[in-house]
């Protein structure tokens, strides 16, 4: 199958690209390298069978290739990520995460068999139902969450308006694992704490630490994407949760870090603006409709991540 992966040198995209290439697909990755993984050059060198294009996913070159029917499936993973960054840069992130995505969507009409969108659990906001099903009302609390939510809405409209367009939205819950580096102020907690341990730095604790997350190891996300790609039925813009169906608090994880690595320095910080307290997915729809099952649960995934960091 001929596949385009946007953001193919980022954390999630790179893991997806590698797995698709391993399965024998003809894979093209497009990435402007603005938020690529730190070892992107080594990653690309290890996959000579993948075409890597350094460009914007909404650039004329990529859009023309999509319009000329060069791809059977588009995985749209590229985005300017992180809630806190979107709070500080709402116009910039909206331009990439919404406006440029619309250009890509438009190019896909009648030209691509399936469009698979990497959405986010942030669309739920602080959901009052845990675990949260996909039919729970959306209530985005940040520009990033609204950007993902509005793109979901537009995808649904496109599926209704254009008979030749088929798409699906996958709502990822707090993805972590190998390939996710932690040296940025916007890094996720797991990657930031692993980076801190590796470099003998203090571990930052936001707020009380009682925030809890449904933390999803990267292999689960890759598996869900491939399951969706291989489904024979049309999706019409349906949404699915991709997670483990469980939740762990930051304090529980920090306690485990202390047990494993000894006396660590913890740096107290305020709650991050736009952050929410708890997430936990109801994955029953993903299980019944896709055959999805989390391959790796949190604690196993955490220790696999430690091994990748060599800590």
Indicate the domain borders of the chain: 2-177+216-245+280-296
Six-digit token string for 6: 């946007």
Residue 118 near residue 77, CB atoms below 8 Å? yes
Residue 300 pLDDT class (50, 70, 90 cuts): very high
Phi-psi region of 305 (alpha: psi -120 to 50; beta: other; left: phi over 0): alpha
Classify domain 2-177+216-245+280-296 at the CATH class level.
alpha beta
Q: Give the pLDDT of residue 272.
A: 86
Six-digit token string for 138: 């959306």
pLDDT of 79 > 90? The answer is yes
Cα torsion through 96, 102, 107, 113, rounded to 10: 100
Reported as a single tens digit per residue, the pLDDT across 1-56 is 999 999 999 999 999 999 999 999 999 999 999 989 999 999 999 999 999 999 99
Question: Which element (helix H / strand E) includes 240?
Answer: strand 238-242
pLDDT of 263 > 90? The answer is no
Per the document, the length of the chain is 311
Residue 167 near residue 116, CB atoms below 8 Å? yes
Mean pLDDT of 86-102: 97
pLDDT of 274 > 90? The answer is no
Residue 82 pLDDT class (50, 70, 90 cuts): confident
Mean pLDDT of 227-231: 97
Cβ neighbours, 10 Å, residue 192: 20
Rounded alpha-carbon distances, angstroms, from residue 38 to 19, 41, 162, 218, 301: 19, 8, 39, 17, 21
- Matching residue, tokens 């990653």: 43
pLDDT of 152 > 90? The answer is yes
3-state SS assignment for residue 31: strand
| β partners of residue 54 | 31
Residue 7 near residue 96, CB atoms below 8 Å? no
pLDDT of 223 > 90? The answer is yes
Tell me the average pLDDT of the chain. Answer: 97
Rounded distance, CA 139 to CA 102, Å?
22
Preceding amide of 131 cis, omega within 30:
yes
Residue 121 near residue 279, CB atoms below 8 Å? yes
Nearest to 170 by CA among 2, 16, 3, 9: 16
């Amino acid at each position: 199958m001929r596949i385009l992966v946007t953001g193919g040198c980022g954390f999630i995209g790179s893991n997806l690209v590698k797995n698709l290439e391993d399965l024998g697909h003809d894979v093209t990755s497009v990435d402007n390298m603005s938020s690529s993984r730190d070892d992107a050059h080594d990653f690309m060198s290890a996959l000579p069978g993948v075409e890597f294009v350094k460009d914007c996913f909404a650039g004329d070159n990529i859009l023309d290739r999509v319009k000329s029917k060069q791809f059977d499936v588009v995985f749209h993973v590229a985005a300017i990520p992180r809630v806190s960054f979107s709070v500080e840069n709402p116009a910039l992130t909206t331009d990439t995460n919404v406006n440029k995505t619309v250009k890509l969507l438009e190019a896909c009409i009648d030209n691509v068999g399936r469009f698979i969108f990497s959405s986010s659990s942030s669309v739920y906001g602080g959901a009052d139902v845990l675990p949260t099903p996909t039919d729970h009302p959306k209530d985005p609390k940040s520009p990033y969450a609204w950007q993902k939510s509005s793109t979901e809405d537009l995808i649904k409209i496109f599926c209704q308006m254009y008979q030749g367009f088929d798409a699906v939205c996958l709502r990822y819950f707090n993805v972590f694992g190998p390939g996710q580096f932690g040296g940025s102020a916007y890094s996720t907690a797991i990657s930031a704490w692993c980076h801190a341990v590796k470099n003998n730095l203090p571990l930052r604790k936001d707020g009380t630490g009682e925030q809890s997350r449904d933390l999803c190891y990267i292999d689960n996300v890759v598996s869900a994407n491939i399951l969706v790609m291989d489904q024979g039925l049309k999706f019409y813009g349906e949404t699915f949760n991709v997670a483990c169906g469980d939740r762990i608090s930051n304090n529980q994880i920090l306690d485990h870090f202390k047990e494993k690595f000894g006396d660590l320095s913890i740096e107290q910080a305020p709650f991050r603006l736009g952050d929410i307290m708890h997430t936990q997915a109801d994955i029953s729809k993903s299980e019944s409709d896709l055959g999805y099952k989390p391959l790796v649960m949190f604690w196993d995934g955490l220790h696999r991540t430690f091994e990748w960091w060599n800590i």
